[in-house]
Structure 1
């Protein structure tokens, strides 16, 4: 009992009051969108306690609530410091019609759209709630499948019925339909790749959309 009381007394000494909160980028990378001064002031009001009593999980949540922060790791450094390591979202495109962004990992987040546009040409994504990672992961497959035509996806949508629609870099929209097996979409794209040169030759630049949902036609 006396030992516990003594430890509590020591832990409350001013020497252990948090005096330094250091913010750094993950793996020593420079933070591009997160301003350490702004993020510190934003999260500081939610940090309670001292070196011993600060709730590190609550501190982590406070920093992860800041725009552009994907992940925060918090550790103590003797005797009165907290080291916050931040990982930023890497924007890939927009999600839906409400201005939210989606990262290369498929995480949807809210941040300044203009800042994201400085990083990259944003693609368009949409799908049912919970499908974000699946939709983003499908992008690399589609780009690989359309590579023989030197085309890539600029917009990718998954409907409520789980039917896929892709808009290509030449503006053509392709209805790919539902994925009935692991190879359904790939087979449909390969069929389109095989006939696409003839379609272009015959229709010139008048192709706006192509429906590949039917096995024996367009």
Structure 2
């Protein structure tokens, strides 16, 4: 039996070999799940942000329910304090401008300093440190322990305080001179009830029963020392008869006696 000869396959140029079956292209599959998850997450985050924003706006509108004033308040008018705070609490608890409230409260003449803080829940606390007057400053004001002038609407009368006077810019110097002079008088029965620095720079003290002591323009404390030497040697037993003492002399003092007491 003869073997069959293999047939020669003649291919045209550019022709592709034949395949047994046509290859099927895979169907296009779209997976929307990742996008759906992202959409859900973004939507959820948006809801959370909206809720937080609503909460913030709601909290921002929380009103101040209580204002408490603390400290050793004796002279400060509380109604005046309230009127100074009220304009600022309209912005709500979280809108309070604490620094502005502090500045406003410290405009009250009797307030030396104030501290302002929020207190939970929904309260404002204002702690007051009052002025401590150490002297009258003229007839319409007072002097505090720092030598600062403050002028309340109504100056208390008959406080056991000396009266100091002078230009407002010189208040610290007048206070210091007064303090030095009162130290010199400690071992005497004299009290310096009045110390004046006039517009010409002249110093005048008043001691005892209204006795004027002229202390000159320069070195008033040294002149007070000179007066005290004369007082201890010559005047202590007769000081009630003295009208005025002038210390503006290098080597001594001049004395004016009350009428009929020479």
Which TM-score band (shorter chain)?
0.7 to 0.9
Q: Find the counterpart in structure 2 of residue 164 from structure 1.
A: 203
Runs of 4+ in 1 over 4 A off after TM superposition: 6-9, 201-204
SS of the counterpart of 1:151? Answer: coil
Q: Which has the higher helix share?
A: 1
Pick the aligned partner of 1:20 from 66, 70, 73: 66
Work out whether 1:216 is the aligned partner of 2:216: no
151, 162, 168: which one pairs with 1:129?
168
**Greater Rg over alpha carbons, structure:** 2
Cα displacement (A) at 1:137: 2.5
CA 40–8 in structure 1, closer or farther in 2 if over 3 Å, else same: farther
CA positional deviation for 1:142: 0.8
Q: Shift of residue 149 of structure 1?
A: 2.3
Query: Partner residue of 1:73?
Result: 115
Corresponding residue of 1:92: 134
State the 1:141 CA deviation: 0.9
Q: Deviations over 1:154-194 (max 9, x none)?
A: 11111223332111133211111233xxxx33332222111
CA spacing shift, 1:135–1:34, aligned 2, 3 Å? same
Q: Which has the higher contact order (CA 8 A, sep 6+)?
A: 1
3-state DSSP of counterpart to 2:249: coil
CA drift of 1:131 comes to 1.2
Q: How many residues align?
A: 202
Q: TM-score, normalised by structure 1?
A: 0.78
Q: 1:207 aligns with which of 232, 236, 242?
A: 242
Structure 1 segment 1-218 matched on structure 2, within 5 A: 10=56, 13=59, 16-25=62-71, 30-36=72-78, 38-48=79-89, 49-97=91-139, 99-111=140-152, 112-114=154-156, 117=158, 120-179=159-218, 184-200=219-235, 205-218=240-253
Shift of 1:144: 0.7
- Contact conserved, 2:61 with 2:93, CA < 8 A, in 1? no
**Gaps in structure 2 of 5+ consecutive residues:** 1-45, 254-262
Measured in 2, the distance between the counterparts of 1:110 and 1:68 equals 8
